[in-house]
Amino acid sequence: MSGPSDKARFFLEQSAAELNELERKQIFSREEISSIARKRSDFEHIVNARGSHPSDWLRYIEFEKNVDALRRKRIKRLAVRYRGSGQRTIYSLYNRSTRKFQGDLGLWMQYIEFARKDKAYKRLNEIFTQVVRLHPTKPELWIYAANYFIQTQADITDARSYMQRGLRFCKSSEQLWVEYAKLETIYIGKIAGRRKILGLDVDRTKKEQDEEDEDMITLPEVTAEDVNPSLKKDDGVDEVALQNLASAPVLTGAIPIAIFDSAMKHFNSNAALAERFFDMFAEFDQVPSVTRILQHVEDHLRQNAAETVQAAACAFRLPFFGLHAASSEFPTVLASSLEKLNAAITQHSNHKRHLTQIALRQILSSIRFAQDMDPVVRKVLSSQLRKFTVFLEETGDGTGDSIATLSEALKREGKKEDAKHLVQSSMKRLGTNERLQQLNAALTT
């Protein structure tokens, strides 16, 4: 099996029995079988020849995927019982191609995606082990593997293991540090969600204040002691155990904070990286301990990089976190925060665009609750929106492209209402901008 022809013949002979079976069961006609055999022969000679490329393997794999899809449709239509080796053939081709082109990450990623869609979990474990062993300095691979285990398998142990091993090889990857903290924050959210379902987040020392209506049917609550009777103690719940659980490091945010601290130590308190952590943590507004985590990041910036634009940006955003725009505290917080931000814009004039975008995002998120808030506050927000859109255009070319770019970013992030409000509030002044016109049409349909 030294020459390309010998190798091609070897692999073709392995598929001969399957082709005969497909013809015998009349899934494919003789002509179709001959055509498949010819195409396989052509591909085998191409991929086994010197000078073959990953694209040659991908065309071969695509051909086999099409054959397999057609075979499945025929089997379903003809109601024939047949379990072919279509998937095994495709996996074999991926395996052979990645052995030959071990350095081609695109090939590896397509292999991983195919196995993931096929829900071949055991094979995926093997693929991830192989690819990170071959490419240990590629942070995106460690991140992909960790996210797969936490999202698909709900396995924090393996996910955490991939992140920690990745940091040994890619310690200077800012993305890997941020993604590791994100992974642990996701895990906190999952644990908090389970506690809520089990009733562990309820204060059980509090008694019922009101009697239920006698005519109403009272549905039983599913609580932790119902799921795990061992939690019962003298016909009650061990409150000390529940308090200990609530204060465990995994729920208080101690792990993401520790990751952040380690990253700051490694990167010498890089303010831009700290803001990246802040942005990421702020996405988890439903996680109970996230306010504490954000406060920790802001404290670090205030203590180690107080004069930076990043410290100013985080200090502006933090007071709004968890504060409803219709609450009585909101006007005071809004006035104080805007005063600080305006001072920061004056101090950091080179970063006016960055601070202006942050202000606009916050104002837009508050305007969502306009109908519930005081008319005076609503008027102030509208005025500030106009002011900061002018600021943003001053940092661009003044034609409206800066507003369009921010609106497109909001739309991609799933904040369609914010994008819509920003576009519509700018149309009167910048309505001739073609991008804004297209966005307005897309957002109002």
Where is average pLDDT lowest: 20-34, 131-145, 216-230? 216-230
Of residues 249 and 51, more confidence is placed in 51
* Average pLDDT over every residue of 105-128: 92
pLDDT higher than 90, residue 196: no
Q: According to the 3-state scheme, what is the secondary structure of 361-413? A: HHHHHHHCCHHHCCHHHHHHHHHHHHHHHHHHHHCCCCCCHHHHHHHHHHHHC
Of residues 236 and 64, more confidence is placed in 64
Q: Could you tell me if residue 434 is inside a domain?
A: yes
Whole-number Å distance between alpha carbons of 433 and 151: 41
> pLDDT tens digits for 155-181?
899 999 999 999 999 999 999 999 999
Last residue of a domain, one of 101, 131, 146: 101
Whole-number Å distance between alpha carbons of 344 and 348: 6
Where is average pLDDT lowest: 7-11, 133-137, 283-287? 7-11
pLDDT higher than 80, residue 117: yes
| pLDDT for the residue numbered 372 | 79
Q: Could you tell me if residue 306 is inside a domain?
A: no
Q: What is the DSSP string of 171-217?
A: TT-HHHHHHHHHHHHHHHHHHHHHHHHHTTTS-TTSPP-SPPPTTSP
Number of C-alpha atoms within 13 angstroms, CB side, residue 366? 30
| pLDDT for the residue numbered 2 | 56
pLDDT higher than 60, residue 118: yes
Last residue of a domain, one of 45, 79, 101: 101
Question: 3-class SS at 233?
Answer: strand
Q: What is the CATH number of the domain that holds 426?
A: 1.25.40
| pLDDT for the residue numbered 223 | 45
| pLDDT for the residue numbered 308 | 95
**Based on the structure, what is the number of domains in the chain?**
2
Residue ranges making up the domain that contains 396:
323-445
Percent of the chain residues topping a pLDDT of 70: 87
pLDDT higher than 60, residue 315: yes
Task: Please state, as a whole number, how many other Cβ atoms lie within 10 Å of the Cβ of residue 27.
Answer: 21
Last residue of a domain, one of 81, 101, 121: 101
Q: Could you tell me if residue 422 is inside a domain?
A: yes
Q: Could you tell me if residue 8 is inside a domain?
A: yes
> pLDDT tens digits for 254-311?
999 999 999 999 999 999 999 999 999 999 988 888 999 999 999 999 999 999 999 9
Helical packing angle, 30-48 and 4-24, nearest 10°: 160
Q: Could you tell me if residue 115 is inside a domain?
A: no
Q: Could you tell me if residue 273 is inside a domain?
A: no
| pLDDT for the residue numbered 59 | 95
| pLDDT for the residue numbered 246 | 57
Number of C-alpha atoms within 13 angstroms, CB side, residue 324? 8
DSSP 3-state helix, strand, coil percentages of the chain (rounded to 5)?
75, 0, 25
Whole-number Å distance between alpha carbons of 412 and 132: 31
Helices (H) and strands (E) in the chain, counts: 22, 2
Q: Are the beta carbons of 142 and 170 closer than 8 angstroms?
A: yes
Q: Could you tell me if residue 274 is inside a domain?
A: no
Average pLDDT of the chain to the nearest whole number: 85
Whole-number Å distance between alpha carbons of 252 and 184: 11
Whole-number Å distance between alpha carbons of 257 and 274: 11
Model-level pTM?
0.80
Q: Could you tell me if residue 253 is inside a domain?
A: no
pLDDT higher than 50, residue 224: no
| pLDDT for the residue numbered 133 | 94
| pLDDT for the residue numbered 91 | 93
DSSP-assigned beta bridge partners for residue 232: 237
Give residues with Cβ within 8 angstroms of 187, minimum separation 6.
150, 156, 250
